[in-house]
């Protein structure tokens, strides 16, 4: 089974998502973050389940979509995946990648 490691930037993304949603509803914020985390568990069994991220065009960098969010991850090897970013679909990913 593959180990999933959340990189600091992805952890910060989850925190910001929670804080933003919690300003309206702490309950829904918890639900959304939990939904994102739960969806990544699929990658333990199917690491290549996602599609290649168009903006990056690297076959080892994939994404899965949960609600309004793109979970972007790198397949490091057969035993390890790094969750790199959790990015809102309405935002321009290319701007974020340039920084």
User: Whose structure tokens read 């979970």?
Assistant: 71
Give residue-wise pLDDT tens across range 32-88: 999 999 999 999 999 999 999 999 989 999 999 999 999 999 999 999 999 999 999
For residue 99, what pLDDT band results from cuts at 50, 70 and 90? low
Q: Which domain holds residue 35?
A: 3-98
22: β partners: none
Rg (CA), the chain: 13
Quickly tell me which residue has 């290649």 as its tokens: 52
CA distances from 51 to 7, 10, 46, 64 (A): 20, 18, 12, 7
Q: How many CB atoms lie within 10 A of CB 79?
A: 9
pLDDT tens by residue, 70-84: 999 999 999 999 999
Count of domains forming the chain:
1
pTM of the prediction? Answer: 0.91
CATH of the domain at 8: 3.30.2310.20
């Amino acid at each position: 089974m593959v180990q999933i490691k959340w990189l600091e930037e992805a952890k910060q993304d989850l925190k910001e998502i929670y804080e933003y949603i919690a300003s309206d509803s702490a309950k829904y914020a918890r639900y959304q973050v939990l939904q994102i985390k739960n969806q990544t568990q699929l990658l333990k069994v199917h690491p290549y389940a996602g599609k290649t991220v168009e903006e990056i065009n690297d076959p080892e960098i994939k994404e899965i979509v949960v609600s309004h969010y793109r979970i972007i991850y790198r397949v490091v090897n057969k035993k390890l995946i790094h969750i790199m970013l959790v990015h809102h679909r309405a935002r321009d990913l290319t701007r974020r990648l340039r920084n």
